[in-house]
Amino acid sequence: MSDRHATLRAAADVAVAGASADLIALSETLHAHPETAWNEHRAAAWVGDALAGAGFRVTPAYLGLETALLAEAGSGPVTIGVMAEYDALPGLGHACGHNLIAASAVGAGLALAGLADELGITVRVYGTPAEEGGGGKIELIDRGAFADLDLAMMVHPAPVDVAEARPFAVAHSHVAYDGVSAHAAAYPDQGVNANDAFVIAQVAIGMLRQQLPADTRVHGIQTIGGYAPNAIPERTEGRWYWRANSLDELAVLEQRVLRCFEAGALATGAALTVTPESKPYAEFRTDERALAAYRRGALERGRVFADPAVAGRMNRASTDMGNVSQIVPAIHPYIGVGSLPHSNHQKEFAAACIGPVAERALLDAAVLMAWTAIDTTLEGRTA
């Protein structure tokens, strides 16, 4: 590593350390005020304000999405994009740690902005809403975002450190059955039971799982099952996900799952409606050069990557960052917050996303993204 290279890395480290109190405060504020997909109005404003205060050119409601934003600094020919997710889970708050993702993205942006002229880069921090099922990044892609990036990055909290993301492709769908209400005791024969349709579908899916490949997932919840025990349910609704290793495999799986829902409609006479909640999330395509730079920096910073037997679980979580990785070079490492035996999407994981261990993860993630951008930019000029 040249003296110039080392100097730039040290400057990034100093910049993040200098902003650490503000970054931790931002993370804690987001954690204390969780907002679900497409409702992240305060979160987007807080992230935008933090970047505007550091001199970024901030565009709120980016590309017409109210809770998206774009913040830019520098004007060099190499364009680095850092993703800030900030949506929370219904009922669980920041049990996936998006408060840390947003704050570390701001930190990386601040560090790189101060080096933009020296490196010849343009730094972009994207506020990307609705990762938890809404496909915010896919909406942004469809409106023209990300396509000119030389590298896209984010770092996601997890129980342990894992360098490479290998997420499932996933489809998210709203499922509804419409039947006919009737008095459950006096006139049951006049009803069409929409709840029975859901029960039949769930039983069919449960039986289907025995014949599915081990590397697929089908899971969901029923959100409306009827309104009174003495009235035949005329409307039931649910939200279901199915996952596979790739979009191609997902399309095959989807047809098998949909037949289970169709079975419920056929058996009961209820009308089935399946409505996608977003376009499918794609599998991840990792940029190996950037991943090697991240891995190298993480080890230098004292991070310890998990045993593959443990790592092979968390890195399968689906993300709309997979869609970004299909169009530009990208990485999506996971950084540990010491939460074991608890993991993402548990209330105990939400509790682990604040406090000293989480704060170290936040600051390390910010520095490591900045280092990765520095390393890949400089290496690209000498390759």
User: Which residues, 6 or more positions from 230, have their beta carbon under 8 angstroms from its beta carbon?
Assistant: 183, 184, 185
- pTM of the predicted structure, to 2 decimals: 0.89
Are 370 and 350 members of one domain? yes
Please report where in the chains the tokens 């002229």 appear, as a residue: 117
Mean pLDDT of 352-362: 97
Q: What's residue 20's pLDDT? A: 97
Are 176 and 152 members of one domain? no
User: Residues 273-295: pLDDT tens digits?
Assistant: 999 999 999 999 999 999 999 99
Are 151 and 190 members of one domain? no
d(CA 71, CA 75): 12
Work out whether strand 235-244 and strand 121-128 pair parallel, antiparallel, or are unpaired: unpaired
Beta strands in 48-116 (DSSP E): 57-60, 69-74, 78-85
User: Which residues, 6 or more positions from 317, have their beta carbon under 8 angstroms from its beta carbon?
Assistant: 167, 168, 344
State which residues form the domain around 271.
Answer: 169-276
User: Is 297 strand, coil or helix?
Assistant: helix
- Which of 88, 110, 35, 24 has its CA nearest to residue 358? 24
Are 147 and 69 members of one domain? yes
Beta strands in the chain (DSSP E): 57-60, 69-74, 78-85, 121-128, 151-153, 156-158, 169-178, 217-224, 235-244, 271-276, 330-331, 334-336
User: Residues 84-111: pLDDT tens digits?
Assistant: 999 999 999 999 999 999 999 999 999 9
Mean pLDDT of 235-250: 95
Are 205 and 311 members of one domain? no
Share of the chain above pLDDT 70, in %: 98
Are 299 and 374 members of one domain? yes
In angstroms, what CA-CA distances link 172 with 192, 224, 238, 241, 321? 27, 17, 11, 5, 15
Last residue of some domain: 245, 276, 307?
276
Which comes out higher in pLDDT, residue 380 or 238? 238
User: Which residues, 6 or more positions from 346, have their beta carbon under 8 angstroms from its beta carbon?
Assistant: 92, 95
Q: pLDDT at residue 383 above 60?
A: no
Mean pLDDT of 297-305: 95
Structure tokens at 289: 């050069």
Q: What is the CATH number of the domain that holds 16?
A: 3.40.630.10
Name the band, by pLDDT with cuts 50, 70 and 90, for residue 312. Answer: low
Are 250 and 300 members of one domain? no
Q: What is the CATH number of the domain that holds 216?
A: 3.30.70.360
Last residue of some domain: 249, 276, 303?
276
In this structure, the dihedral spanned by the alpha carbons of residues 51, 55, 56 and 61, taken in order and rounded to 10 degrees, is 60
Q: pLDDT at residue 184 above 80?
A: yes
Are 155 and 191 members of one domain? no
d(CA 85, CA 102): 5
Are 251 and 350 members of one domain? no
User: Residues 127-149: pLDDT tens digits?
Assistant: 999 999 899 999 999 999 999 99
Work out whether strand 169-178 and strand 235-244 pair parallel, antiparallel, or are unpaired: antiparallel
Name the band, by pLDDT with cuts 50, 70 and 90, for residue 310. Answer: low
Name the band, by pLDDT with cuts 50, 70 and 90, for residue 381. Answer: low
User: Is 87 strand, coil or helix?
Assistant: coil
Last residue of some domain: 228, 250, 276?
276
Q: What's residue 316's pLDDT? A: 78
Are 112 and 202 members of one domain? no
Name the band, by pLDDT with cuts 50, 70 and 90, for residue 3. Answer: confident
Mean pLDDT of 162-169: 90
Are 217 and 350 members of one domain? no
When divided into structural domains, the chain yields a total of 2
Structure tokens at 62: 């980016």
User: Residues 315-335: pLDDT tens digits?
Assistant: 778 899 999 999 999 999 999
Are 154 and 33 members of one domain? yes
Q: What is the 3-state secondary structure (H, E, C) of 248-296?
A: HHHHHHHHHHHHHHHHHHHHHCCEEEEEECCCCECCCCCCHHHHHHHHH
Share of the chain above pLDDT 90, in %: 90
